A = this chain, B = another copy of it.
Amino acid sequence: MSWVVLFTLQRSNFMLKIYFAGSIRGGREQIDIYQKMITHLKTFGQVLTEHVGEANLTDKGEKGLDDSSIYQRDIDWLKSSDMVVAEVSNPSLGVGFEIAKAIEFQKQVICFYRKQQDKRLSAMIAGCPDVNVFNYDDFENFIGKFDSVFNNDISNLK
């Protein structure tokens, strides 16, 4: 789905489906910002992966679902989504996998990376021609960048 169509649909109260990707078993260091981001994204549409921001979801992963069921559910959500927003400050096999799958499924992908001293974003994400990467400093800065992109610059994105 192109950004122009996305923009039109969003403006016509279409319920946009957003797949939010964040680290779970890779580490929950960024949980506070995931929660805030998801709350903000919900003002734009439905966040399919709202559980990623739940405080009681630890790096042990979800309870009550085996790995195959989680995988299939997440792939189905990814396929049905209109856009993918990934928080990529934390190393995560799952988030990296989901970004590549999203590209394969021809979804637009927006990555947000919070700069950290002595750390660098993976070259497979930062150097990928099929994703949009934005650096941000804090939640307010994220809001400014996301809203600007979503409301003004959508047609310029990959």
A residues with CB within 8 A of B: 23-27, 59-62, 66-72, 74, 88, 90-101, 104, 118-129
Contact = CB atoms under 8 A, between A and B. Distances in A.
Contacts of A69: 127
B94 A95 contact: no
A128 B68 CA distance: 6
B74 A122 contact: no
Contacts of A24: 122-123
Given A96-B92, A97-B100, A100-B96, A72 B26 contact: no
The oligomer's copy count stands at: 2
B25 A71 contact: no
Contacts of A67: 123, 126-127
23 contacts: A24-B123, A25-B119, A25-B120, A59-B118, A60-B118, A67-B123, A67-B126, A67-B127, A68-B127, A71-B123, A71-B124, A71-B129, A91-B93, A92-B92, A92-B96, A93-B95, A93-B96, A93-B122, A94-B96, A96-B100, A98-B124, A100-B101, A100-B104
B26 A70 contact: no
Contacts of A60: 118, 120
A100 B98 CA distance: 8
A123 B96 contact: no
Contacts of A128: 71, 97
A94 B123 contact: yes
